[in-house]
C-alpha cells in the first residue's frame, strides 16, 4: 500500500520533529516547491474567475468567534484562549477563515452592483485535534486552506454554485484528482445546528437546484453546523472515498455579522454567504496527491522539472549553462555532478523527476541535449532551446503527460 508518510520522507517533501510538535509538519524545499506551484495555479484560476484575494490574521478576539458561532458549536476543536497582557482581552487561533472574511465584507458599505463579491485566501487555521488521530499531512493541527466566501443575492445563488462546481472540476483535472461522485450533505438527528427550519429548507432547495443534471447522493448528518453543503468525493490510491472539496450555503453568518447591501430600490438586504474550497487544505490535498501519483506528480508541479547530468567534468560548463537558460525560462532545475552517470539517472528516477538532460562530449560540442523521461523513454539529442521549449510547453499546459500534445 502506498503511504504518503513514507514517500514524503523518501522524497524529502516534508518532515516531522518532536520539537515542532505533533500535527505540525515542516514542508521541506521539494514539498514547498510543489505546494507553491499548486497555490499559484489556484490563485490564478480564482483571479480569472473574478475572485479578490485577501490576507487575514490567523487569530482573533474571543468575541469574534462568539459572534460567528464557533465557540458555541465548535469549541471542542479550538485551542484555548491566550491573554497577550491585558486581562480582559483574549485572543484565539481561528478554526476557520469565514469570520474574518465576513469582516472583509463589512469593512465598508456594499451595493447590489458589487454582488457576487468573491473573497478568496489560502490561509491558516488551527484545530485542536487529539494526538491519537494525527498523522502525516492527512490529519494536522495547523491547516492551510484554499478557501473563499462568495457573498451574493438570493437569486444569484444557483448560478454561483454552478460556476464553483465548474472551477472544482477544472482544478481537479489539472491536479490529477480521481473523482468519485457528488454528495449533498444535510442535517441529521442528534447534532447541533444554527438557524431555523425555513432557512435550512431554502438552502437545501437552492443546492438541489444547482445540482440539476448532476448525479448525487444525499447524506443525513453530514452538514456543517451552519448550513447544508455539496461535498465533492474523490477516490484515493487504495480506492477509498472521501471529501476533498466543498460548497456550503450559509444564511446564519450574514445575520450574525449584520451583513447587508443596498438593493436597486434603496433597501438594505441580507446577502447569502457561499463557503467554497476548490482543493481543500494544502495538507490533506498533498497527502492525497502523493499517494494517488505515487510521488510522480504531473510535471507542472513536480518539485524539480529537469535535472541536468553532465557525463564528465569537461561537460560541467555546458550543463551549468543549460540549467541557467532553463531557470531563466521559468523551470525548476538542478545540476547533478556526483557519481556515475548510471547512478545519477537512477537517482533522478527514484526522485520522480520528469526530465533528465544528459550532456556528453558530442552534445556539448553541438549545443544539443539527450533527454530521458522518467517513464524510461529516450529522446534523440536535440538543440537546447528545443528541449527547454518542450518542457516549458508541458508545464504551461498543466498536463499529466510528459510530452506536448500533438
Q: What is the pLDDT along the chain (406 residues), one digit of tens a residue?
A: 789 999 999 999 999 999 999 999 999 999 999 999 999 999 999 999 999 999 999 999 999 999 999 999 889 999 999 988 766 789 999 999 999 999 999 999 999 999 999 999 999 999 998 887 888 999 999 999 999 999 999 999 999 999 999 999 999 999 999 989 999 999 888 677 877 788 888 889 989 988 988 899 999 988 888 889 999 999 988 888 989 999 999 999 999 999 999 999 999 999 999 999 999 999 999 999 999 999 999 999 999 999 999 999 999 999 999 999 999 999 999 999 989 999 999 999 999 999 999 999 998 999 999 999 999 999 999 999 999 999 999 999 998 999 998 7
Rounded Cα gap, residues 252 and 249, in angstroms = 9
Across-strand partners of 150? 118, 274
Can you read off the three cell numbers belonging to residue 29?
524545499
Residues 182 and 244: beta-carbon distance below 8 Å: no
Region label for 287, one of left (φ > 0), alpha (ψ between -120 and 50) or beta (otherwise): alpha
108-111 contacts at long range (C-beta below 8 A, 24 or more positions apart): 109/262, 110/151, 110/259, 110/260, 110/261, 110/262, 110/271, 111/261, 111/262
Residues 295 and 11: beta-carbon distance below 8 Å: yes
The pLDDT value given to residue 132: 79
The pLDDT value given to residue 300: 98
Element containing residue 396 per DSSP (H, E): helix 384-397
The pLDDT value given to residue 86: 65
Can you read off the three cell numbers belonging to residue 201?
429548507
User: In the block, which residue shows the cell 500535527?
Assistant: 23
Rounded Cα gap, residues 110 and 302, in angstroms = 42
Given the DSSP bridges, would you call strands 179-186 and 229-235 parallel, antiparallel or unpaired? antiparallel
User: In the block, which residue shows the cell 472521501?
Assistant: 242
Rounded Cα gap, residues 165 and 329, in angstroms = 33
Compute φ and ψ for 368, nearest 5 degrees: -120, 165
Establish how many alpha carbons lie within 13 A of residue 87's alpha carbon, considering only the half-sphere containing its beta carbon: 0
Rounded Cα gap, residues 184 and 139, in angstroms = 23
- Read off the pTM: 0.94
Mention every residue, 6+ apart, whose C-beta is less than 8 A from residue 229.
Answer: 184, 185, 207, 222, 223, 246, 247, 248, 249, 275
The pLDDT value given to residue 91: 95
Can you read off the three cell numbers belonging to residue 195?
438557524
User: In the block, which residue shows the cell 520539537?
Assistant: 19
The pLDDT value given to residue 84: 83
Of 388, 391, 37, whose CA–CA distance to 404 is shortest?
A: 391
The pLDDT value given to residue 311: 95
Helical ranges in 135-281 per DSSP H = 157-175, 197-210, 252-256
Can you read off the three cell numbers belonging to residue 256?
450574525
Can you read off the three cell numbers belonging to residue 136?
502525516
The pLDDT value given to residue 14: 97
Sign, CA dihedral 297-303-308-312, equals negative
Residues 244 and 217: beta-carbon distance below 8 Å: no
Can you read off the three cell numbers belonging to residue 82?
491566550
Give 26's DSSP letter. E
Amino acid at each position: 500500500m502506498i503511504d504518503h508518510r513514507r514517500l514524503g520522507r523518501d522524497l524529502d517533501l516534508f518532515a516531522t520533529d518532536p520539537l515542532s510538535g505533533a500535527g505540525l509538519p515542516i514542508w521541506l524545499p521539494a514539498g514547498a516547491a510543489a505546494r507553491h506551484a499548486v497555490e499559484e495555479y489556484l490563485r490564478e484560476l480564482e483571479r480569472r474567475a473574478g475572485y479578490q484575494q485577501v490576507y487575514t490574521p490567523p487569530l482573533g478576539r474571543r468575541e469574534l468567534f462568539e459572534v460567528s458561532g464557533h465557540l458555541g458549536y465548535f469549541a471542542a476543536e479550538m485551542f484555548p484562549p491566550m491573554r497577550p497582557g491585558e486581562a480582559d482581552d483574549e485572543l484565539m487561533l481561528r478554526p476557520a477563515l469565514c469570520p474574518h472574511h465576513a469582516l472583509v465584507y463589512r469593512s465598508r458599505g456594499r451595493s447590489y452592483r458589487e454582488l457576487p463579491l468573491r473573497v478568496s485566501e489560502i490561509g491558516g487555521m488551527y484545530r485542536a485535534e487529539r494526538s491519537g488521530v494525527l498523522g502525516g499531512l492527512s490529519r494536522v493541527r495547523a491547516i492551510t486552506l484554499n478557501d473563499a466566501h462568495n457573498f451574493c443575492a438570493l437569486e444569484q445563488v444557483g448560478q454561483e454554485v454552478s460556476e464553483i462546481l465548474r472551477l472544482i472540476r477544472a482544478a481537479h483535472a489539472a491536479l490529477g484528482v480521481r473523482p468519485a461522485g457528488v454528495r449533498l450533505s444535510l442535517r441529521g438527528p442528534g447534532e447541533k445546528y444554527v438557524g431555523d427550519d425555513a432557512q435550512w429548507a431554502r438552502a437545501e432547495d437552492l443546492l438541489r437546484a444547482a445540482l440539476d443534471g448532476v448525479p448525487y447522493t444525499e447524506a443525513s448528518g453530514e452538514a456543517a453546523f451552519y448550513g447544508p453543503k455539496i461535498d465533492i468525493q474523490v477516490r484515493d490510491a487504495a480506492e477509498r472515498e472521501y471529501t476533498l472539496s466543498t460548497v456550503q450555503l450559509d444564511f446564519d453568518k450574514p445575520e450574525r455579522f449584520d451583513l447587508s447591501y443596498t438593493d436597486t430600490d434603496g433597501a438594505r438586504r441580507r446577502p447569502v454567504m457561499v463557503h467554497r474550497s476548490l482543493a481543500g487544505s494544502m495538507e490533506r490535498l498533498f497527502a492525497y496527491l502523493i499517494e494517488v501519483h505515487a510521488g510522480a506528480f504531473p510535471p507542472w508541479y513536480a518539485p524539480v522539472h529537469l535535472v541536468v547530468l553532465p557525463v564528465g567534468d569537461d561537460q560541467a560548463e555546458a550543463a551549468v549553462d543549460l540549467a541557467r537558460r532553463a531557470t531563466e525560462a521559468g523551470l525548476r532545475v538542478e545540476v547533478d555532478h556526483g557519481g556515475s552517470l548510471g547512478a545519477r539517472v537512477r537517482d533522478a528516477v527514484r526522485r520522480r523527476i520528469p526530465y533528465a538532460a544528459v550532456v556528453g562530449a558530442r552534445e556539448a560540442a553541438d549545443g544539443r541535449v539527450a533527454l530521458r523521461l522518467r517513464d524510461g523513454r529516450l529522446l534523440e539529442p536535440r538543440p537546447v532551446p528545443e528541449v527547454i521549449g518542450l518542457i516549458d510547453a508541458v508545464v504551461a499546459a498543466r498536463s499529466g503527460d510528459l510530452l506536448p500534445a500533438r
